[in-house]
Amino acid sequence: MDYLKIQGIDSLNGTIQISGAKNASLPLIAMTILAKNKVSLKNLPHVADINTLLKLLSNLGAVCTTDETSTIIDTSTLNQTKATYDIVKTMRASILVLGPILARFGHCEVSLPGGCAIGQRPIDLHLKALEHMGAKIDIKSGYVQATAPNGLKGCEIIFDKITVTGTANIVMAAALADGATTITNAAREPEVVQLCEVLNNSGVTIEGIGTAVITVHGTNGKLINIDEFSIIPDRIEAGTYLCAGAITNSELTLKNVNAKHLGAVLSKLEEMGNKFTITPDTITIHPTANLKPVKIITQEYPAFPTDMQAQFLALATQAHGVSIIEERLFENRFMHVSELQRMGADITLNGHVATVNGKNELSGTDVMATDLRASSALVLAALVADGETDIHRIYHLDRGYDSLEKKLQAVGATIQRLKE
């Protein structure tokens, strides 16, 4: 297994190219199941989760070919409708094939994803919505068995909770349904918006894109023609590198980034004393040497994203004063806290609220990554810790960050990827 060796107290300088968004890529790859043509996707990030989903599609009979600029997915050869446990267990977002496969073939079996490190992560809202559209859902020996022999029917769906992949799944199922489906309490994340925009450009009329009420006018089973498109920039990768600039008091410029997707993150970084120069596709951080403490509550987009909570918790250890960070979406998303405490962070946890008593002198040591975003928090802490930090189990990091150590090396970090 690989690990990262990071030498702390580094200042950084230069430009980082942001990759395509992992959480936009996953639904857009699943969406190709609705296509009758070969679909070309540009700017897919080189991360493990994308490879996992492409492998799943190949296992189902699709043909995925990747060259240096794009990935072409041909689902005309799909001949399987069962997503097996061996793949789904490694990536819960595999559940995103359920809606499109059921819509196209009228039946689908997907292994229950099981919980994950950050929480139980149920899929009850996905399944209830599909039943509402006319599907019959059974749970048998760890699999969701879904059938819709007469196809899916458009209807009114009201989500009890805002669910990102749940919204994506139902939008894709509704794309081939008979009639219109209105989704109320829909997720508004930019990744869901891009899925809707691509479908809308492919002949599936969708109203209310980017709002909490989306109406999808289905094609009644007709497959669609999807023109080539490019994945939007990864706002969480971008936010992570902005935190790298802030925590090391370094001026960094991010390229291929959409500041409009980072409103809540930029505003919290400004509250902490940082300033920014923004153009349509770049963000430059002008950091403060005296970070102010911050209060954060994670909520659905456009509010502060849960996927940036761990990074800000690491950043808060370098602020002068008391920061309060509340995690409202997941029940167990503070596993980075104990590792940060081992580096010298003064953090107390009380239920879903972390209180950081900064500023803390951090010292390098061996730490263990536990989940994707926790891993990036440990990288940030290691950049300012005194001495050397070895971060183990970075397969978590590789799920969602494209070439992280190369991007940080290029702006002056002393970071190496080594073998255990």
| Main-chain phi, psi angles of 124, to 5 degrees | -60, -35
* Residue with smaller CB distance to ligand EPZ, 204 or 310: 310
Q: 32 or 165: whose CB is closer to ligand EPZ?
A: 165
Nearest to 104 by CA among 78, 138, 74, 126: 78
Supply the DSSP symbol for 288: -
State which H helix or E strand residue 86 sits in.
helix 85-88
* Least gap, CB of 342 to ligand EPZ (angstroms): 22
Residues in CB range of 55: below 8 A, 6 or more apart: 87
Residues 413 and 379: beta-carbon distance below 8 Å: no
Q: Are 74 and 33 in contact (CB under 8 A)?
A: no
CA distance 299 to 296: 9
Question: Which one, 198 or 223, has the nearer CB to ligand EPZ?
Answer: 198
* Residue among 64, 108, 116, 243 flagged as catalytic: 116
Q: Which residues contact 217 (CB under 8 A, 6 or more apart)?
A: 154, 179, 180, 204, 205, 206, 207
Question: At closest approach, how far in Å is the CB of 121 from ligand EPZ?
Answer: 5
If the CB atoms of residues 164 and 254 are measured against ligand EPZ, the closer one turns out to be 164
CB atoms within 10 A of CB 241: 26
Q: Site residues (CB under 6 A) for ligand EPZ?
A: 22-23, 26, 93, 119, 121-126, 161, 163-166, 306-307, 329-330, 372-373, 400
Give the SS3 label for residue 11. coil
Residue 155: active-site member: no
- State the nearest-atom distance from the C-beta of 387 to ligand EPZ, in Å: 29
Cα separation, 89 vs 153, in Å, equals 30
Query: Residue 122 CB, nearest distance to ligand EPZ (Å)?
Result: 4
Q: Radius of gyration (Cα) for the chain, nearest Å?
A: 21
Distance in Å, CB of 11 to ligand EPZ, minimum? 28
C-beta of 93 vs 356, nearer to ligand EPZ: 93
Tell me which residues are annotated as active site: 116
